[in-house]
């Protein structure tokens, strides 16, 4: 039963970390351009410079 | 005065550059047409390659392209023409309008929402064992009290923090002597926290820390949705306004042209206004003769002829060549500003509208608080322990939580406005949708609303159009542009010279030709209308080309659809009787008024309102702005002037009139869903409140009932999306 005194604060700590992570994404403007972020993963950034690995 | 078309006529856009101390500069552009990943990479790659450009980043959601420049003296026109070649028309932002206002309220709501979400989840962790104890699972009183303390340690600080937006709003409303929706919420949360603490200290059974935080979490979702709706409409409306660049071109003592902010123009300044541009402030014509288009100011479709020394009003469009004007008023003293004051007066009368949720709250608050008080007093009188009676009273407040009021209406409105946004209608606020759902009469302006608002060729043979087209393509006059549109792409005449107020002259296939007014082309005629152009080669027969403002293709269908929905319609126009009658007959409207002044329009709206009609005004001109603000609801097309868009509740971003009908349908459907949600909430409270009074509600039942009712109203709101 004593384990609860360790686990309960630990789970609250995990929750706090999640809130902190969310606030960080907010401050880093990650929600400013949601559609753009979804589209950008489709852009190949290997064009123009250097030999492309086209195998 | 003759003007040749060359690079010098390109507007000076350096006023849009934001210079930094280290010599670098940045520029914001509004790019239209970017839709996909390919567009992003193409635009960013091509713009970055331009000399002097450091970086370019496109925001796909808002269509804004931010460009970093290494050189503060670079001409933005190079970037704009590069984008134009790629097929994405771009417009620079006004530095003032583009100044991003830090969305402080939104940040605060998000922070409160995150804290409430954290609190709800973690307080729940300690609540589950307590709930298990309620169902005869093994849980000693000592363990239960410990769990309640842990729940309090997490839940109470979170509830106090997340509840702040509600507490502050409730306090403000109480101080002004009224009770809004936040008063019962605040009273409920504070009482719940107080009773939960006393129960925890007295080793009781009923601690509602998790319920208090989850209640705030659900309500904050509703509050945040409402905020997002307003913020998004504000920024999109800002984009539309930025398209009407508020800069003026001033000629200084040495003859150089400079682009300066509108607010810096002083009386006596010499202004240059290019063909097709708006006159920035009230000004008198210095030299020559001009044809100016007053359609946005008076609704008149035929251009007005102005001589030297005569007044040209701010907002009118120059349809002749390059004009030189002397400013006679400052921006805030101009005609535009006078109309803006009329609009402000109208907007104030509209702010007295009471929103649906607030009307429901006016009923709900006294009933619920009376029920809670009766529970406490009645329970005590009937022999209950005062502590038990108080717990039951708080349980009544918790289970009758106003989630349906706080969450359901914003959810319905955000779904409805997202649907309209996809169809090209911008909703400026949730209240606008509620008012739009109530309308039973529509007043249309004519020019620019029922009609295209620009001249189109009527009845000209194709071979004449093809002959005149090379000359027409070289001019920016609206009528010449109509010819160019009708002819499509093709060659441009050589050695083109534009004569202000008269026409254009040039060489087509080695022959001199002229396009313009009768006298200029060489036709001896006494009567020369403003809605016609003449064309002819130097030594051959001359032909007349007639123009008229054409009715929008879907105008008749939109009027028909309104009739089918039981909405009556009429036209109120500032234009001549003949022009209005023709349009009224074409679209199938029996009621119309012509030659109306702006004040008459707004009085006519007041008369209709006094007669009990709920009027929707659809207008674009400055002459409509006051009427737009007086009407119960108002819609302006995207081509409308700034003042009209500010006065309107909804802005059409594409050029289809059917969107008006669509907006009414969606608003009505949203209203039905909202009323259904209220009905559901009333039904739920009819069951839950007596149960709480009789003491059947424990913390587990309260949590279940609350989230269950919120889920039902949110799912009901989503039905608006499919239009049922």
Would you state the pLDDT for residue B280?
A: 78
**Are B64 and B47 a contacting pair, CB within 8 Å?**
no
Chain B within 8 Å of A34 (Cβ-Cβ)? yes
Q: How far is residue B719's CA from residue B724's CA, in Å, rounded to a whole number?
A: 6
DSSP B384: -
Q: How much is the mean pLDDT over chain B?
A: 79
Task: State yes or no: pLDDT of B160 exceeds 90.
Answer: yes
Among B168, B161, B167, B170, which Cα is nearest to B213's? B161
Determine the residue among B61, B115, B421 to mutate to test chain A binding: the one whose Cβ has the most chain A Cβ atoms within 10 Å.
Answer: B61
Q: Is the pLDDT of residue B660 over 50?
A: yes
Q: Does A3 touch chain B (CB under 8 A)?
A: no
Q: Convert the pLDDT of each residue in B89-123 to its tens digit.
A: 777 765 444 344 446 777 888 899 999 999 998 98
Summarised one tens digit per residue, pLDDT across range B28-50 is 887 877 778 888 888 888 888 88
For domain B425-452+552-668, the CATH class is alpha beta
Residues of B in contact with A13 (CB under 8 A): none
Integer angstrom CA distances of residue B341 from B348, B461, B606:
11, 48, 17
B125·A11 Cβ contact <8 A: yes
State the smallest CA–CA distance between residue A1 and chain B in angstroms: 10
- DSSP letter assigned to residue B701: H
**pLDDT tens figures, B115-152:** 999 999 898 888 888 888 777 767 778 888 888 898 99
pLDDT digits (tens, 9 = 90+) for B434-451: 889 999 999 998 877 888
Contact between chains at A39 and B60 (C-beta distance less than 8 A): yes
Tally of CB atoms within 10 A around B112: 22
- Residue of B269, B445, B624, B649 marked catalytic: B445
Axis-axis angle for helices B182-201, B209-242 (nearest 10): 150
Q: Do A39 and B150 touch (CB under 8 A)?
A: no
Contact B522, B542 (CB under 8 A): yes
Put simply, whether B110 touches A (Cβ < 8 Å) is yes
Mutate to test the interface with A, among B34, B37, B58, B224 (most CBs of A within 10 A): B37
% of chain B at pLDDT higher than 90: 10
pLDDT over 70 for what percent of chain B? 84
The partner residue sitting opposite B37, judged by closest CB among A19, A32, A42, is A42
From B100-114, B155-169, B684-698, the region with the lowest mean pLDDT = B100-114
* Residue B391, helix vs strand vs coil: helix
Where in chain B is CATH 3.40.50.1000?
A: 425-452+552-668
User: Is A15 touching B (CB cutoff 8 A)?
Assistant: yes
List, for residues B456-513, the tens digit of each pLDDT value. Answer: 777 777 777 888 888 887 776 667 778 887 777 777 777 777 776 677 888 888 788 8
A25 and chain B in contact, CB less than 8 A: no
**Which pLDDT belongs to residue B8?**
35
Which residues from A are below 8 Å from B62, CB to CB?
33
Of B37, B58, B115, the CB nearest to A19: B115
pLDDT for position A3: 86
CA angle (B385 as vertex; B383, B388 as ends), nearest 5: 120
Q: Is the pLDDT of residue B246 over 80?
A: no
Q: For domain B1-100, give its CATH number from 3.40.50.20, 3.30.70.100, 2.160.20.60, 3.20.20.70.
A: 3.30.70.100
Tell me if chain A has a CB within 8 Å of the CB of B49.
Answer: no
CB–CB contact B61 A32 (8 Å): yes
CB contact under 8 Å between B61 and A33, yes or no, is: yes
Q: Which DSSP helix (H) or strand (E) runs through A4?
A: helix A3-27
Distance (Å, whole) CA B33 – CA B39: 9
How many Å apart are CA B496 and CA B3, to the nearest integer? 9
Chain B CB within 8 Å of residue A23 CB: yes
* Ranges for all domains in chain B classified under CATH 2.70.150.10: 244-333
ipTM of the predicted structure? 0.76
Q: How confident is the model at residue B697 (pLDDT cuts 50, 70, 90)?
A: confident
Q: Residues B284, B328: contact at Cβ < 8 Å?
A: yes
Predicted local confidence at residue A31, as pLDDT: 79
pLDDT of residue B245: 46
Residue B388: CB atoms within 10 Å: 14
Give B56→chain A minimum CA distance, Å: 14
Residues of chain B found within 8 Å of residue A40, distances taken between Cβ atoms: 37, 40
Flag whether residue B231 sits within 8 Å of chain A, measured between CB atoms. no
Query: Chain A contacts of B154, Cβ < 8 Å?
Result: 12
Please tell me the predicted confidence (pLDDT) of residue B440: 92
Which residues in chain B are contacts of A11 at CB distance < 8 A?
A: 122, 125
Sign of CA dihedral B275, B280, B285, B287: negative
- The per-residue pLDDT for A55 is 38
Residues B301-358 have pLDDT tens digits of: 667 778 888 888 777 777 766 788 888 877 666 655 555 555 555 555 555 566 777 7
Q: Where in chain B is the domain with CATH 3.40.1110.10?
A: 454-549
Q: Is B126 on the interface with A (CB under 8 A)?
A: yes
Residues of chain A contacting residue B125, judged by C-beta atoms under 8 Å apart: 8, 11
DSSP for residue B93: P
Nearest by CB to residue A34, choosing from B61, B118, B125, is B61
pLDDT digits (tens, 9 = 90+) for A1-30: 788 888 888 988 999 999 999 989 988 878
List residues bridging with B327 in a β-sheet: B283
B125 backbone dihedrals φ, ψ, rounded to 5°: -55, -40
B-chain CB neighbours of A24 within 8 Å are none
Q: Which fold has domain B244-333?
A: 2.70.150
Per-residue pLDDT tens over the stretch B505-541? 888 887 888 888 777 777 776 554 556 788 888 777 7
* Res. B401: pLDDT tops 80: no
Q: How far is A52 from chain B (nearest CA, A)?
A: 17
pTM above 0.80, yes or no: no
Q: Spell out which residues of chain B touch residue A29, defining contact as CB-CB under 8 Å.
A: none
> Nearest residue of B to residue A44 by CA position?
B41
In terms of CA atoms, which chain B residue is nearest residue A23? B111
* One CATH from 3.30.70.890, 3.30.565.10, 3.40.630.30, 3.40.1110.10 for B454-549: 3.40.1110.10
Q: Map residue B289 onto helix, strand or coil.
A: coil
CA-based nearest residue in chain A for residue B59: A33
CB A40 to CB B40 under 8 A?
A: yes
Whether B418 has its CB under 8 Å from any CB of chain A: the answer is no
B540 reaches A (C-beta below 8 A): no
Best residue in B56, B63, B114, B418 to probe A by mutation, most A CBs within 10 Å? Answer: B114
User: Of A12, A11, A39, whose CA–CA distance to B36 is shortest?
Assistant: A39
Residues 6+ apart with CB under 8 A from B19: B25, B72
Q: Give the A:B interface size as CB pairs under 8 Å.
A: 46
Residues of B in contact with A12 (CB under 8 A): 122, 154
B652 closest CA partner among B619, B698, B678, B626: B619
B21 is catalytic: no
For B497-521, b where at least 16 C-beta lie within 10 A, e where not — what string? Answer: ebbbbbbbbbebeeeebbbbbbebb
């Amino acid at each position: 039963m004593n384990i609860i005194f360790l686990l309960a604060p630990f789970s609250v700590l995990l929750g706090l970390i999640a809130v902190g992570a969310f606030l960080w994404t907010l401050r880093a403007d990650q929600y400013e351009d949601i559609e753009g972020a979804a589209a950008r993963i489709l852009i190949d950034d290997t064009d123009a410079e250097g030999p492309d690995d086209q195998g | 005065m003759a003007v040749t078309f060359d690079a010098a006529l390109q507007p000076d856009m350096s006023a849009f550059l934001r210079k930094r101390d280290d010599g670098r500069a940045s520029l914001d552009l509004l790019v239209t047409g970017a839709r996909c990943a390919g567009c992003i990479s193409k635009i960013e790659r091509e713009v970055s390659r331009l000399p002097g450009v450091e970086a370019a980043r496109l925001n796909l959601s808002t269509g804004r392209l931010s460009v970093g420049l290494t050189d503060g003296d670079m001409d933005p026109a190079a970037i704009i023409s590069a984008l134009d070649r790629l097929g994405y028309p771009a417009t620079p932002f006004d530095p003032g309008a583009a100044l991003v206002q830090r969305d402080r309220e939104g940040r605060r709501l998000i922070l409160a929402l995150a804290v409430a979400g954290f609190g709800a989840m973690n307080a729940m962790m300690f609540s589950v064992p307590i709930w298990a104890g309620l169902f005869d699972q093994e849980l000693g009183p000592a363990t239960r009290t410990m769990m309640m303390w842990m729940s309090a340690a997490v839940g109470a600080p979170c509830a106090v923090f997340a509840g702040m937006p509600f507490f502050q709003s409730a306090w403000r409303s109480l101080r002004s002597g009224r009770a809004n929706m936040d008063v019962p919420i605040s009273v409920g949360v504070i009482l719940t926290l107080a009773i939960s603490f006393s129960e925890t200290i007295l080793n009781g059974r009923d601690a509602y820390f998790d319920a208090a935080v989850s209640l705030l979490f659900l309500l904050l979702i509703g509050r945040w949705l409402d905020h997002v709706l307003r913020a998004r409409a504000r920024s999109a409306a800002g984009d539309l306004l930025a398209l009407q660049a508020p800069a003026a071109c001033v000629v200084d003592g040495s003859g150089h042209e400079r682009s300066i902010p509108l607010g810096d123009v002083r009386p006596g300044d010499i202004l240059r206004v290019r063909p097709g541009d708006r006159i920035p402030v009230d000004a008198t014509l210095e030299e020559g003769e001009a044809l100016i288009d007053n359609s946005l100011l008076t609704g008149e479709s035929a251009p007005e002829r102005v001589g030297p020394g005569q007044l040209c009003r701010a907002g009118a469009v120059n349809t002749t060549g390059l004009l030189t004007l002397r400013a006679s008023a400052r921006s805030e003293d101009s005609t535009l500003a006078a109309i803006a004051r009329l609009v402000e007066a109208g907007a104030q009368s509209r702010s007295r509208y009471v929103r649906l949720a607030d009307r429901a709250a006016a009923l709900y608050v006294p009933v619920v608080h009376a029920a809670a008080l009766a529970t406490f007093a009645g329970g005590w009188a009937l022999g209950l322990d005062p502590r038990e009676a108080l717990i039951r009273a708080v349980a009544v407040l918790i289970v009758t939580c106003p989630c349906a009021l706080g969450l359901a209406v914003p959810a319905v409105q955000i779904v409805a406005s997202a649907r309209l946004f996809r169809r090209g209608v911008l909703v400026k606020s949730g209240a606008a949708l509620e008012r739009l759902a109530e309308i039973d009469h529509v007043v249309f302006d004519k020019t620019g609303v029922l009609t295209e608002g620009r001249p189109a060729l009527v009845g000209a043979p194709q071979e004449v159009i093809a002959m005149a087209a090379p000359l027409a393509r070289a001019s920016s006059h609206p009528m010449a542009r109509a010819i160019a549109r009708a002819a499509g792409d093709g060659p441009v005449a050589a050695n083109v010279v534009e004569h202000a107020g008269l026409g254009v002259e040039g060489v087509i296939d080695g022959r001199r030709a002229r396009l313009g007014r009768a006298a200029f082309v060489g036709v001896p005629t006494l009567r020369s209308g403003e809605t016609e152009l003449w064309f002819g080669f130097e030594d051959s027969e001359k032909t007349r080309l007639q123009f008229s403002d054409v009715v929008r293709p879907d105008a008749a269908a939109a009027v028909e659809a309104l009739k089918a929905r039981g909405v009556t319609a009429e036209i109120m126009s500032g234009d001549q009787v003949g022009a209005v009658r023709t349009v009224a007959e074409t679209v199938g409207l029996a009621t119309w008024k012509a030659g109306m002044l702006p004040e008459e329009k707004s009085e006519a709206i007041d008369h209709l309102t006094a007669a009990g009609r709920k009027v929707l005004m659809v207008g674009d001109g400055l002459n409509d702005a006051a009427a737009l603000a007086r009407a119960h609801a108002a819609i302006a097309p995207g081509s409308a002037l700034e003042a009209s868009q500010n006065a309107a509740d909804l802005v059409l971003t594409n050029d289809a009139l059917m969107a008006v009908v669509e907006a009414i349908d969606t608003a009505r459907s949203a209203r039905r869903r909202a009323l259904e949600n209220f009905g559901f909430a009333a039904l739920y409270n009819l069951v839950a409140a007596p149960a709480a009074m009789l003491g059947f509600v424990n913390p587990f039942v309260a949590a279940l009932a609350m989230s269950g009712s919120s889920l039902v109203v949110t799912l009901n709101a989503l039905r608006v999306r499919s239009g049922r």
